[in-house]
C-alpha cells in the first residue's frame, strides 16, 4: 500500500515538523529571487506543502506565516539588488546574453503600471523578475513594499489552497486511502514537472540556436544549384520566403540518429545502457503500490492498439471529407509507425523485464504503446488545432505531450518495458511524426477549421478506452502485478552452506552496495515476531520511525517484512533488526527463509553489533545483545572477503553472518542456543 511506502515520511514530519516549516520558507524565498525563481517548481512544491498542512501533518499557521515571510524577503532581496546596481545588471550573466529576460519584465510593468507589482507575483514567466526590474526603474521603496507585502499575503494562501483542500478532503477518508491519494498525486506532479521542464529547456535552446544558423544559410542554398533541391523539398507552403523547414529536418535527423544509436546499443548489449536499464527497472519496482498500479494501468490503456485503432480509422474517414491532403498524411503517418514497430519486433527479439505475472510474448524493443501514443496523438492534435491561436495550440501541445509522457512512464513503471525500449520508441515516433509534418507543410495549410474532428476524435477515444478498460482492466492489473519466483532448497544445504549461499550485501536503488546482510533466519514470520517480542524487542511504529531512514531500505525491490527495535540501557544505543523475504522455502517442511540486518542505530555512530571484544571467539554467548533471551538455534558463517565490494569489505563487522532456525522438539546437533 502507498501509505505503507510513505508512512516513514509522514511520521518523520510528525516528529520533525520544523523541517516542513523551513521548506515552506525556502520555497517561497527562492521562488521570489530573480533568475532562481524561474527554475523552482514553486506551484508543485507549495501544493505538496499545503496538502501536508491541510491533512494535519504540518502546522497550519506557521506554514502560512513563513511562506509569506519568505516571499517578502525574497522580493526584497531582488528589489534592493535592482535598486542599488541599476543598469549595471544588464551587463551581468545571463541578462547580457539574453536581454529579452529583462525586456519581458519591463514590458509587463509598462503595460500594467503600479498594479504590476501585485499582479506579477501570480504570473509565472515574470514573477521572479518584477522585483528586480522595479528596483532598476527606481520605484520608491515605500510604494514597492506596500504592494509586495499585500501580494505576498495573498500569494501564500492561493498557492497553498489547492493542496490544503486536498488535505482537508483526505481527513474524511480512511487513512490508507487518503495517504495513497495524496502522495500519488504529489509524486506524479513532481515527476511530470521535472521531465516536462527538461524537454522544454532543451527545445528552447535547440530552437534558438537553429534560428541563428538557418537564417544565414537558407538563401545561400537557394542560389546554389547543388543545394537548391534541399530548399525545394523542405519548403514551407505558408511562408515561401522563410527558411523552410530546416529546423524540423534537423530535429528529424537528431531523433532518427538517437533511435539508431539506441537500437545498435540494444542489439550489441552495450554495458552502460544495460546498467541503466536495470537501475531504472529496480527504482520503479521499489515504488510500486496498488494505487499507482491502478493509475498506471488506466494510463497505459491509452497506448493500446484496441484504443488507438478506432481513433485512427475515425480520423481517416473524417479527414477524407474535410481535407484529402491531410487524410493522405494521416494514413502515411499511421502506416509508418505501425509498420516500423511491427518490422523491428519481427526482425529482432529483445526479452522483456521479468518480475510480473504475465508479459506479452513478443519482443520488448521498442515500446509499441509509447510509439502509438506519440505518433497518433501528436498528429491528431497538430491537424485539428491549426485554426486555433498559437497560445491555445501551445497549451494543447503541452497537454498531449504530458499524456504521451505518462503513457511512456507507465510502461516502465508496470515493468512491461526497459528504459531503452521507451527512449527508442520516443525517438522513432517523433521521427515518423516530424517526417509527416514536413511533407504536409510543403503545401499551403488552409486555415480550415477541423475542430469538429477534434470533438469527434475525443468522443471516439474516451468511450473506446472505457470499453477496453471495462473488458480488460482486471486482467491487465493482474498481469502487471509484481512476481518473485519461489525457490525450494533443502534445509541442510542452507544450514551447512555447502553449495548454496544467499547474497552477502544489499544495494541501494541505484545499484550501489550499501550494507552487509548479516542475518539469515528460517521460520514462520509470525513465530519470529513472537520470539522477538518475548526477548524484549518491539515493533511499535512510533519508536521505530525515530530510528528509520527517510526512504525505506529495499532488498530485491521489496520493503522489509518486519522492522523491530530493542532498547538497551543508556548509554548503549538501540538495536535495529530488519528482515526481508528471500522467496526461498526450506525442504522438507517448506519453512520460509528470511534475510536481514541487525545493527546498532546508525545515528549513534557506534560499532556494529557483531564487533566483539574477545577476538578469539567467533560469537560470544555471554555479552551479545542481539542473542540475549532469544530461544533459537544459531550458528556463525564466515563471509569470504573476496565476496564483498571493497567499500564493504573494509568494514570491521563485514566478516560474519548469523544463521538462525527455530527450536524443535526433536534433538539435533547445533552450534548454540540462547
* In the block, residue with C-alpha cell 550501489: 512
> Are 457 and 315 spatial neighbours (Cβ–Cβ below 8 Å)?
yes
**Which is nearest to 243 in space by CA: 218, 263, 225?**
218
Q: What Rg, from alpha-carbon coordinates, does the chain have?
A: 31
DSSP state of 414: T
- Does 536 sit behind a cis peptide bond, omega within 30 degrees of 0 on the bond before it? no
pLDDT of residue 477: 92
* In the block, residue with C-alpha cell 500594467: 112
Q: What distance in Å separates the CA atoms of residue 457 and residue 488, rounded to the nearest whole number?
A: 53
Indicate the pTM of the whole model.
0.67
Cβ-Cβ contacts under 8 Å for 618 (sequence gap 6 or more): 636, 638, 656
* In the block, residue with C-alpha cell 487518503: 178
Question: Where do the domains of the chain lie, and which CATH numbers do they carry?
Answer: 2-173 (no CATH), 206-244 (no CATH), 254-479 (1.20.144), 487-673 (no CATH)
Query: How many residues would you count in the chain?
Result: 674
pLDDT of residue 610: 38
Phi and psi dihedrals of 283, rounded to 5? Answer: -60, -45
Q: What distance in Å separates the CA atoms of residue 398 and residue 388, rounded to the nearest whole number?
A: 15
> Are 246 and 221 spatial neighbours (Cβ–Cβ below 8 Å)?
no
pLDDT of residue 292: 82
Phi and psi dihedrals of 191, rounded to 5? Answer: -60, -45
Q: What distance in Å separates the CA atoms of residue 34 and residue 130, rounded to the nearest whole number?
A: 8
Query: Residue 536 is placed in which grid cell?
Result: 524484549
Rounded alpha-carbon distances, angstroms, from residue 274 to 153, 271, 278, 371, 556: 51, 5, 6, 21, 18
Q: What distance in Å separates the CA atoms of residue 379 and residue 401, rounded to the nearest whole number?
A: 12
Cβ-Cβ contacts under 8 Å for 649 (sequence gap 6 or more): 641
**What residues pair up with 522 in beta bridges, in sequence order?**
593
Q: What distance in Å separates the CA atoms of residue 419 and residue 424, rounded to the nearest whole number?
A: 9
3-state secondary structure of 563: strand
> Are 33 and 59 spatial neighbours (Cβ–Cβ below 8 Å)?
no
Query: Residue 264 is placed in which grid cell?
Result: 545498435
Query: Residue 310 is placed in which grid cell?
Result: 478506432
Q: How many other CB atoms are there within 10 angstroms of residue 455's CB atom? A: 11
Q: What distance in Å separates the CA atoms of residue 377 and residue 361, rounded to the nearest whole number?
A: 26
Query: Residue 111 is placed in which grid cell?
Result: 503595460
DSSP alpha helix (H) spans, 287-418? 290-300, 305-322, 324-347, 368-372, 378-384, 390-413
**What residues pair up with 584 in beta bridges, in sequence order?**
487, 593
Q: What is the 3-state secondary structure (H, E, C) of 196-250?
A: HHHHHHHHHHHHHHHHHHHHHHHHHHHHCCCCHHHHHHCCCCCCCCCCCCHHHHH
Cβ-Cβ contacts under 8 Å for 394 (sequence gap 6 or more): none
Q: What distance in Å separates the CA atoms of residue 457 and residue 314, rounded to the nearest whole number?
A: 7
- Residues of the chain where predicted confidence (pLDDT) is lower than 70: 1-20, 34-48, 50-58, 60, 93-117, 119-128, 159, 161-197, 199-200, 203-223, 227-234, 236-244, 445-449, 498, 510, 540-551, 570-572, 601-625, 651-654, 664-674
Query: Residue 155 is placed in which grid cell?
Result: 500569494
Query: Residue 666 is placed in which grid cell?
Result: 526433536
Handedness of CA 298, 299, 302, 303 (dihedral sign): negative
**Which is nearest to 304 in space by CA: 417, 469, 511?**
469
pLDDT of residue 131: 77
pLDDT of residue 331: 94
**What does DSSP say about strands 487-490 and 591-600: parallel, antiparallel, or unpaired?**
unpaired
Residues 230, 235, 240: CA angle, nearest 5 degrees? 130
> Are 47 and 162 spatial neighbours (Cβ–Cβ below 8 Å)?
yes
Query: Residue 26 is placed in which grid cell?
Result: 525556502
**Which is nearest to 284 in space by CA: 367, 359, 191, 197?**
191
3-state secondary structure of 313: helix
DSSP state of 538: B
DSSP state of 18: H
Q: What distance in Å separates the CA atoms of residue 566 and residue 427, rounded to the nearest whole number?
A: 53
> Are 81 and 132 spatial neighbours (Cβ–Cβ below 8 Å)?
yes
Q: What distance in Å separates the CA atoms of residue 672 and residue 631, rounded to the nearest whole number?
A: 10
pLDDT of residue 237: 60
pLDDT of residue 241: 61
3-state secondary structure of 121: coil
**Residue 555 C-alpha from the chain's centroid:** 20
Q: What distance in Å separates the CA atoms of residue 533 and residue 619, rounded to the nearest whole number?
A: 23
pLDDT of residue 672: 44
Phi and psi dihedrals of 597, rounded to 5? Answer: -135, 150
Q: How many other CB atoms are there within 10 angstroms of residue 594's CB atom? A: 23
> Are 576 and 565 spatial neighbours (Cβ–Cβ below 8 Å)?
yes
Q: How many other CB atoms are there within 10 angstroms of residue 18's CB atom? A: 11
Query: At 457, which helix (H) or strand (E)?
Result: helix 451-479
Cβ-Cβ contacts under 8 Å for 101 (sequence gap 6 or more): 94, 95, 129
pLDDT 10s digits, 406-449: 999 999 999 999 999 999 999 999 999 999 998 888 877 666 66
Q: What is the 3-state secondary structure (H, E, C) of 244-273?
A: CCHHHHHHHHHHHHHHHHHHHHHHCCCHHH
Burial (0-12, 13-18, 19+ Cβ within 10 Å), 554: buried
Burial (0-12, 13-18, 19+ Cβ within 10 Å), 645: middle
Amino acid at each position: 500500500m502507498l501509505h505503507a511506502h510513505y508512512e516513514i515520511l509522514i511520521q518523520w514530519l510528525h516528529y520533525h515538523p520544523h523541517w516542513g516549516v523551513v521548506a515552506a520558507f525556502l520555497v517561497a524565498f527562492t521562488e521570489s529571487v530573480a533568475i532562481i525563481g524561474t527554475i523552482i517548481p514553486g506551484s508543485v512544491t507549495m501544493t505538496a506543502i499545503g496538502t501536508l498542512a491541510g491533512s494535519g501533518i504540518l502546522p497550519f499557521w506557521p506554514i502560512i506565516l513563513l511562506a509569506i515571510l519568505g516571499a517578502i524577503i525574497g522580493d526584497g532581496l531582488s528589489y534592493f539588488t535592482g535598486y542599488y546596481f541599476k543598469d549595471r545588471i544588464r551587463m551581468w550573466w545571463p541578462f547580457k546574453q539574453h536581454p529579452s529576460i529583462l525586456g519581458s519584465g519591463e514590458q509587463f510593468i509598462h503595460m500594467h503600471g503600479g498594479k504590476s507589482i501585485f499582479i506579477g507575483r501570480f504570473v509565472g514567466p515574470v514573477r521572479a523578475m518584477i522585483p528586480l526590474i522595479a528596483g532598476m526603474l527606481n520605484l520608491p521603496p515605500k510604494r514597492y513594499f506596500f504592494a509586495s507585502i499585500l501580494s505576498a499575503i495573498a500569494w501564500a494562501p492561493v498557492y497553498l489552497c489547492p493542496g490544503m483542500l486536498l488535505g482537508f478532503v483526505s481527513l474524511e477518508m480512511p487513512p490508507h486511502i487518503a495517504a495513497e491519494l495524496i502522495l500519488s498525486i504529489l509524486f506524479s506532479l513532481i515527476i511530470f514537472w521535472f521531465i516536462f521542464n527538461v524537454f522544454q529547456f532543451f527545445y528552447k535552446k535547440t530552437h534558438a540556436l537553429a534560428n541563428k544558423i538557418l537564417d544565414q544559410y537558407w538563401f545561400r542554398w537557394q542560389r546554389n544549384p547543388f543545394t537548391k533541391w534541399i530548399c525545394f523539398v523542405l519548403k514551407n507552403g505558408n511562408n515561401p520566403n522563410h527558411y523552410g523547414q530546416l529546423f524540423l529536418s534537423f530535429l528529424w535527423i537528431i531523433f532518427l540518429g538517437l533511435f539508431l544509436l539506441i537500437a545498435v546499443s540494444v542489439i550489441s548489449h552495450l554495458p552502460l545502457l544495460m546498467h541503466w536499464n536495470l537501475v531504472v527497472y529496480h527504482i520503479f519496482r521499489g515504488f510500486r503500490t496498488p494505487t499507482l498500479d491502478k493509475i498506471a494501468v488506466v494510463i497505459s490503456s491509452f497506448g493500446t492498439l484496441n484504443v488507438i485503432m478506432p481513433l485512427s480509422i475515425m480520423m481517416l474517414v473524417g479527414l477524407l471529407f474535410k481535407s484529402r491532403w491531410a487524410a493522405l498524411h494521416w494514413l502515411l503517418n499511421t502506416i509508418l509507425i505501425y509498420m516500423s514497430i511491427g518490422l523491428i519486433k519481427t526482425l529482432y527479439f529483445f526479452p522483456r523485464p521479468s518480475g510480473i505475472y504475465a508479459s506479452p510474448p513478443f519482443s520488448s524493443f521498442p515500446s509499441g504503446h509509447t510509439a502509438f501514443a506519440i505518433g497518433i496523438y501528436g498528429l491528431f492534435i497538430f491537424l485539428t488545432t491549426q485554426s486555433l491561436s498559437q497560445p491555445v495550440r501551445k497549451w494543447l501541445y503541452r497537454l498531449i505531450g504530458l499524456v504521451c509522457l505518462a503513457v511512456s512512464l507507465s510502461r516502465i513503471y508496470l515493468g512491461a518495458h526497459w528504459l531503452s525500449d521507451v527512449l527508442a520508441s520516443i525517438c522513432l515516433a517523433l521521427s515518423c511524426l516530424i517526417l509527416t509534418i514536413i511533407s504536409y507543410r510543403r503545401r499551403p495549410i488552409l486555415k480550415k477549421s477541423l475542430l469538429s474532428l477534434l470533438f469527434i476524435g475525443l468522443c471516439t477515444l474516451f468511450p473506446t478506452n472505457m470499453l477496453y478498460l471495462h473488458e480488460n482492466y482486471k486482467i491487465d492489473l493482474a498481469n502487471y502485478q509484481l512476481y518473485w519466483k519461489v525457490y525450494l532448497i533443502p534445509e541442510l544445504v542452507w544450514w551447512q552452506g555447502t553449495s548454496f549461499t544467499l547474497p552477502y550485501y544489499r544495494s541501494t536503488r541505484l545499484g550501489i552496495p550499501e550494507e552487509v546482510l548479516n542475518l539469515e533466519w528460517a521460520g514462520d514470520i509470525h513465530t519470529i515476531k513472537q520470539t522477538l517480542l518475548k526477548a524484549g524487542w518491539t515493533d511499535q511504529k512510533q519508536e521505530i520511525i525515530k530510528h528509520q531512514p527517510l526512504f525505506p531500505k529495499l532488498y530485491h525491490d521489496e520493503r522489509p517484512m518486519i522492522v523491530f527495535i530493542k532498547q538497551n540501557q543508556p548509554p548503549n544505543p538501540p538495536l535495529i533488526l530488519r528482515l526481508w523475504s528471500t522467496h526461498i522455502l526450506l525442504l522438507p517442511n517448506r519453512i520460509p527463509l528470511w534475510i536481514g540486518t541487525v545493527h546498532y542505530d546508525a545515528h549513534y555512530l557506534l560499532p556494529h553489533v557483531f564487533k566483539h571484544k574477545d577476538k578469539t571467539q567467533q560469537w560470544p554467548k555471554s555479552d551479545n545483545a542481539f542473542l540475549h533471551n532469544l530461544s533459537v538455534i544459531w550458528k556463525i558463517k564466515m563471509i569470504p572477503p573476496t565476496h564483498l565490494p571493497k567499500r564493504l569489505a573494509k568494514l570491521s563487522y563485514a566478516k560474519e553472518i548469523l544463521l538462525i532456525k527455530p527450536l524443535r522438539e526433536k534433538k539435533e546437533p547445533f552450534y548454540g542456543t540462547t
